[in-house]
Structure 1
Amino acid sequence: MDDIDHGAFRRLDLNLLVAFDALAAEASVTRAAARLHIGQPAMSHALARLRDIFADEILYREGPGMALTERARALAPRIRQLLLDAHAVAFTETEFDPAKVHAQFRLSLTDPLEALLLPALMARLRPLAPGLSLSVQAIPAWQQLEQLDGGQIQLAVGHFPHVRTVHQQTVLYTAHYACVFNPALVSLPGSFGLRDLAALPHIHTSYTGDAPGMVDLAFQALGLKREIVVHAATPLSIPFVVKESPLVAVLPDIVTRLFRNHADLRIAPLDAEGLSLPISSVIHRRDHSNPLAAFVLRELVAAANAVLQD
């Protein structure tokens, strides 16, 4: 494709082409001005500029009226097509139809969020966009925004305390914390707090994407320190560990709700100052007007509302 001399376009205003089209259609400065709802002096000025640009009279007087030059007659259909193309680009928005999409969409979810949200999200997407495939990337929480910025993913879901102006963030849910343990192995009162938990050994994972040390900071605020005896690579092993060992886990409820089928465990909400975790979706500014990204985000929000608000 030939390159465009952008500097040459500094002499040309799209409004001049609109004026040319009106002049070509009316063959009259007065009628062309009326068509564009401008004064005759302004149209005469536009005609003067067109004559300079095209090195042609464009219109000349013939008898009682005016007529187009041969150059103007040759230019008229080409300029009309340019204006139609410009109008289509600027004002005609192609309607997005998810049923016609054949594409792959890349997103990242931590393991707990994938287990919670992906079933509901796919249940919504399949009937609406059968040609859309999702590629869920296994990205550590602290690398998600970096991958989003680099274009490796188009949507990130997790806990993002520090986003930039290039990120569009939508809060899906505010998670609170709960304690998980096996009551046959761990003795805790019916109502307990951080002081009771500080005396017990803990299992913890940082893979959930919570802010580093958030739970430990809550202990420190009370002058306490917990003992972590196991650092798990993922939270999904935790219910199996606490079922067999006298340990406790303090985790966001987006994680602990995955353990509800473990009948041997007790999952107790933990009321502690400052222990909450906003869960958000983030898309990059470059995809702000991407209809596919907007569609997936809308369905994700609906899936999250259905799953997380119960």
Structure 2
Amino acid sequence: MPDPDLNLLLTLDALLAEGSVAGAARRLRLSPSAMSRSLARLRDVTGDPLLVRAGRGLVPSPRALALRERIGPLVQEAQAALRPAAALDLGRLEREFTLRTREGFVENFGAALLARVAAESPGVRLRFVPKPDRGSEPLRDGGVDLETGVVGSSIGPELRAQALFRDRFVAVIRQGHALATGKLTAKRYAAGRHVAISRRVTAAGPVDEALSALGLHRDIVVTVAGFSEALALARGTDLIATVPERHTGHLRDGLVSVDLPLALQPFTVSLLWHPRMDGDAAHRWLRGCVREACTG
């Protein structure tokens, strides 16, 4: 059975409201002949005469009377659904957003973000979840509203991205560490004992590639999955942790940060979201809040 023509709902609503073919035609800006043809189609689809001649006018059949109670609200709901969204009222907005970030983001930018959100829309709640990998599935399936990270080959090509801030790697050591005095050269850096950060099987990364170009190799004593763990080990041992500078700002409190003696390019941390959220006014507002928190 073919799908019904939903345009007939508008026709039927007009016919039942006006009680005449001519009136319904004027209401929908159609010719009387076109409206008559639509009425004939409605009769064929419903198997009911719907409107019956009575003198010079038309009267509804029992089926038409029963439909009138249902068709009007259906048409009104459809029309409301197709209108532009109402202006966003931040004061009345009640919604929870989920953000997926690596450790260090909440510690460095969370307070500023919460202050901005609370000031503008106190009914909004935020939920931060960890980012164990770079996969795009959580954004695609709607489990996550926003994500932060470096745009790479593993990021889905359809995702939207907007730069938040530039960052760079620094070497981090405890107070009193031997490398805290004197010039840190590539040889001194490589000769130290290191804690590496990797969520993959191999711990090699941009730092190791830059050292290799100089004919050097660092001694990786331990590999951990996150910045917090690496900095905790650097705080209590003579290990060197190499971490992003801005992303780990407060996590490095009490530690010594030293510029890397390597030719490493800065990188950009971006805000990521799925394009289906482009037109969502509340989502767009939150994206602005995140950008302000990171640039402020």
- Regarding TM over 0.5, the answer is yes
RMSD of the TM alignment (CA)?
A: 3.8
User: What secondary structure sits across from 2:122 in the alignment?
Assistant: coil
The reply on whether 1:254 has 2:272 as its aligned counterpart is no
Q: How far is 1:252 from its partner?
A: 1.8
Whether 1:70 and 2:61 are equivalent positions in the alignment is yes
User: Which structure has the highest helix share of the two?
Assistant: 1
The structure 2 residue matched to 1:280, chosen from 255, 259, 270, is: 270
Aligned length: 289
* Deviation string, structure 1 residues 50-74 (Cα, Å, up to 9, x no partner): 11123333344455x4323333355
Q: How does 1:1-310 map to 2 (within 5 A)?
A: 10=3, 12-63=4-55, 65-71=56-62, 72-91=64-83, 93=85, 96-102=88-94, 104-137=96-129, 139-142=130-133, 145=136, 153-161=144-152, 162-164=154-156, 167-181=159-173, 185-186=178-179, 188-189=182-183, 194=186, 197-206=189-198, 213-232=205-224, 234-236=226-228, 248-255=240-247, 257-258=249-250, 262=254, 265-268=256-259, 272-273=263-264, 275-284=265-274, 293-306=283-296
- Structure 2, unmatched stretches of 5+, are none
State percent identity of aligned pairs: 28
Please say if residues 16 and 50 of structure 1, whose CA atoms lie closer than 8 Å, have aligned partners that are also in contact: yes
CA distance, structure 2, for counterparts of residue 57 and residue 233 of structure 1: 72
Alignment partners' CA distance in 2, 1:260 and 1:196:
21
The one-letter code sitting in structure 1 at the alignment partner of 2:292 is A
What SS is found at the alignment partner of 1:108? strand
Question: Can you give the 5+ residue segments of structure 1 that lack an aligned partner in the other structure?
Answer: 1-6
Whole-Å Cα distance in 1 between the matches of residues 223 and 242 of structure 2?
12
After superposition, give the CA deviation of every residue in 1:159-213 in whole Å (9 maximum; x if it has no partner). 3521225644443223222334568722553xx7756643444343337xxx961
Residues 133 and 33 of structure 1, relative CA distance in 2, 3 Å threshold? closer
Residues 93 and 194 (structure 1), Cα distance of their counterparts in 2 relative to 1, 3 Å cut? same
CA contact (8 A) 1:170 1:281 kept: yes
CA shift in 2, pair 1:270/1:112, >3 Å: farther
Structure-2 change in CA distance of 1:235 and 1:165 (3 Å): closer
Q: Is the 8 A contact 1:159 1:277 kept in 2?
A: yes
Q: Which moved more, 1:223-232 or 1:122-131?
A: 223-232
TM-score, with structure 1 as normaliser: 0.72
**How far does the alpha carbon of each residue in 1:241-288 deviate from its partner, in whole angstroms, 9 at most, with x for none?**
6577665443222245336754x7343266625x33332333456766
Residues 82-131 of structure 1 deviation map (CA, whole Å, 9 limit, x = unaligned): 21122223326355444445554433322211211111111112223334
